[in-house]
Amino acid sequence: MAYTDFIAAIDLGSSHMVGMVGTKDTSGALSIVAYEVEKSDTCIRRGCVYNIKDTAYKIVGLIRKLENKLGGARIGKVYIGVGGQSLRTINHTVSKILGTGVVTEETLQEMDRECSEYRPEMLDVLDIASPLYSLDNHSESQPVGMSCSRIEAHYKLIVGRPSLRHAVTTNMVEHIKVDVAGVIVAPLALADLILTDQAKENGCALIDFGAGVTSVTLYKSGKLAGLYVIPLGSHLITRDLMSLDNLPEKEAERIKRTNGNAIWEKEKDPQMIPVDLADGRHGSVKSTDVNHVVEARIREIIENIYARFEDAGVTNEPGYKIVIAGNGSVLKNLREALSNRFNMEVSYAAVRKDLIVEGEMIANNLEYTTAAALLLKGTENCALYVVPEPEVKKPEPAPEPKIVAPEPKEITPDPEPEVKKQEPEIKAPTPPKTPKSTKPKGKGWFGTLWEKAERAADDIGQKIGDTMKEEE
């Protein structure tokens, strides 16, 4: 079956990029249709595209693989998630004097328009979080219908370097020949997929431990309190482990996942971990050395996160909770290390069940969670609609004149003329000559004349005969 209405999104991660296609029902719940993965460590660093051509090539490959699972449908545009190290929030305030007026919906819309027109220097506004309102210096969450002399709206603008958006719009479109339906701030989309409205109201933070960066999204009283992207990720732990006996990257990554510990534990008998070295050699590293390296780097990342909590003013918030996500969150004892430093409850992320109809297990896979979050933010149909060419009706040929053949008449052959059989002519026998003496004599003058002629002829013949005899 070919799909004609779906949403397509691509998550540009530092270690891998994920392409995903899904559909939504009337309530907005998501069904995941297809997904594919491509490695991106050669073209994306710390969440930013640095090799546009290679990135575009991989995106094209993702799109082709996804189309093979769509029953013949084609992808005409995609949503792309961004979360580079330059991403952060800045404060912006819009105020309006009302005198003795009343706050209306038109008042708030006018303030929103003024905020959207603001252009900070050397920065690109990627998104605007819903504001906090202050009426005559008193905070109000629902100001419509209330009277005041002055209203202020305190916005959180999600900004980044202008090149962040440009790299995935203008440049990418030129290479992949596919339109970009929209650029979505990945950490915000991920927070909406995982955190409930009640959790945001009570106060919570979502920390996404990625390979290249660590994203921190903070909420307080239901509003965005801050968004920070720390340029430190779990891949730094892998690089640190590579310094132990010149480990290959693949072996260092394996050791981090299987033996790494966020909390160093003193061991009486250090374990020797076998490793495969370059050129087919074999070796081993001490588990104590591995834990020293892992704990040192994790402590650095945690301290940077703590500084962002202090900047947002949520460090001492009662009941504040932390949710951790991302491939880096599976490190042993990471949850305990965070809980000890922040003195807060820490839990692992799980997608909200009310948002996923089909594919919940896929969305809960740490590798695909962000891509699923991007799909939920998409609103446009990404299927390529091919306008059918107007059917040109060929002029019908003029009907050939119908030649009606005359019905064959039954031809009755003319009766053959009767051929009279000629009876053989019976010739009468020639009568013997009658001697002159016996020839009848005619009567009258004619008879007399005839007789005279005969006698004369006889006489001449007699004379000729006589003469011939004499000559002989």
For residue range 351-407, list pLDDT tens digits in order. Answer: 998 899 999 999 999 899 999 999 999 999 999 865 555 666 666 666 665 555 555
* Least reliable range by pLDDT among 67-71, 164-168, 329-333: 164-168
- Split at pLDDT 50, 70, 90, the class of 71 is confident
Domain hosting residue 66, numbered range: 1-85+162-195+352-386
**Would 437 be classed as within a structural domain?**
no
How far is 361 from 369, CA to CA, in rounded Å?
10
Q: Are residues 210 and 282 in the same domain?
A: yes
**Would 457 be classed as within a structural domain?**
no
For residue range 2-17, list pLDDT tens digits in order. Answer: 678 899 999 988 888 9
Q: Are residues 185 and 147 in the same domain?
A: no
**Would 452 be classed as within a structural domain?**
no
Q: Are residues 363 and 228 in the same domain?
A: no
Q: Are residues 331 and 381 in the same domain?
A: no
Residues contacting 90, CB < 8 A, separation 6+? 120, 123, 156, 157, 159
Tokens 């903070």, residue located: 218
Number of H helices, E strands in the chain: 13, 19
Nearest C-alpha neighbor of 255 from the set 278, 285, 277, 234:
285
For residue range 175-221, list pLDDT tens digits in order. Answer: 888 888 999 999 999 999 999 999 999 999 999 999 889 999 999 99
What does the block give as tokens for 296?
A: 């040192």
Q: What percent of the chain has pLDDT over 90?
A: 51
For residue 278, the model assigns a pLDDT of: 75
Q: Are residues 171 and 285 in the same domain?
A: no
For residue range 123-143, list pLDDT tens digits in order. Answer: 999 999 999 999 998 888 889
Residue 147 is given by DSSP the state: B
**Would 249 be classed as within a structural domain?**
yes
For residue 454, the model assigns a pLDDT of: 64
Number of structural domains (the chain) is 3
Q: Are residues 61 and 96 in the same domain?
A: no
Residue 467: strand, helix, or coil? helix
Q: Are residues 181 and 227 in the same domain?
A: no
How far is 291 from 273, CA to CA, in rounded Å?
12
For residue 369, the model assigns a pLDDT of: 94
**Would 456 be classed as within a structural domain?**
no
The one-letter code for the residue type at 356 is: I
Tokens 């305190």, residue located: 154
User: Does 415 score more than 90 pLDDT?
Assistant: no
Q: Are residues 264 and 328 in the same domain?
A: yes
Q: What is the CATH number of the domain that holds 99?
A: 3.30.1490.110
* Least reliable range by pLDDT among 17-21, 47-51, 287-291, 462-466: 462-466
How far is 17 from 371, CA to CA, in rounded Å?
9
**Would 140 be classed as within a structural domain?**
yes
For residue 85, the model assigns a pLDDT of: 81
User: Does 110 score more than 70 pLDDT?
Assistant: yes
Beta sheet of 345-348, edge-to-edge order: 138-140, 124-135, 150-160, 88-97, 223-230, 214-220, 204-209, 321-325, 345-348
- Split at pLDDT 50, 70, 90, the class of 436 is very low
Q: Are residues 146 and 187 in the same domain?
A: no
* Least reliable range by pLDDT among 148-152, 170-174, 435-439, 463-467: 435-439
Q: What is the CATH number of the domain that holds 260?
A: 3.30.420.40
Mean pLDDT for the chain overall = 84
**Would 416 be classed as within a structural domain?**
no
Q: Where does a domain end: 139, 160, 181? A: 160
Q: Are residues 331 and 228 in the same domain?
A: yes
Query: Of residues 208 and 429, which shows the higher confidence score?
Result: 208
Nearest C-alpha neighbor of 315 from the set 340, 342, 339, 337:
342
**Would 404 be classed as within a structural domain?**
no
Q: Where does a domain end: 364, 386, 408? A: 386
For residue 398, the model assigns a pLDDT of: 60
For residue range 144-161, list pLDDT tens digits in order. Answer: 999 899 999 999 999 988
For residue 421, the model assigns a pLDDT of: 47
For residue range 38-62, list pLDDT tens digits in order. Answer: 988 888 887 788 888 888 888 899 9
Q: Are residues 55 and 36 in the same domain?
A: yes
- Split at pLDDT 50, 70, 90, the class of 229 is very high
For residue 208, the model assigns a pLDDT of: 95
For residue 391, the model assigns a pLDDT of: 65
For residue range 215-224, list pLDDT tens digits in order. Answer: 999 999 999 9
Q: Are residues 168 and 300 in the same domain?
A: no
For residue 372, the model assigns a pLDDT of: 94
For residue 165, the model assigns a pLDDT of: 81
User: Does 293 score more than 60 pLDDT?
Assistant: yes
User: Does 417 score more than 60 pLDDT?
Assistant: no
Query: Of residues 82 and 321, which shows the higher confidence score?
Result: 321
Helical spans, DSSP H, in 313-443? 334-342, 360-364, 369-377
For residue 264, the model assigns a pLDDT of: 81
- Split at pLDDT 50, 70, 90, the class of 1 is low
Residue 358: strand, helix, or coil? strand
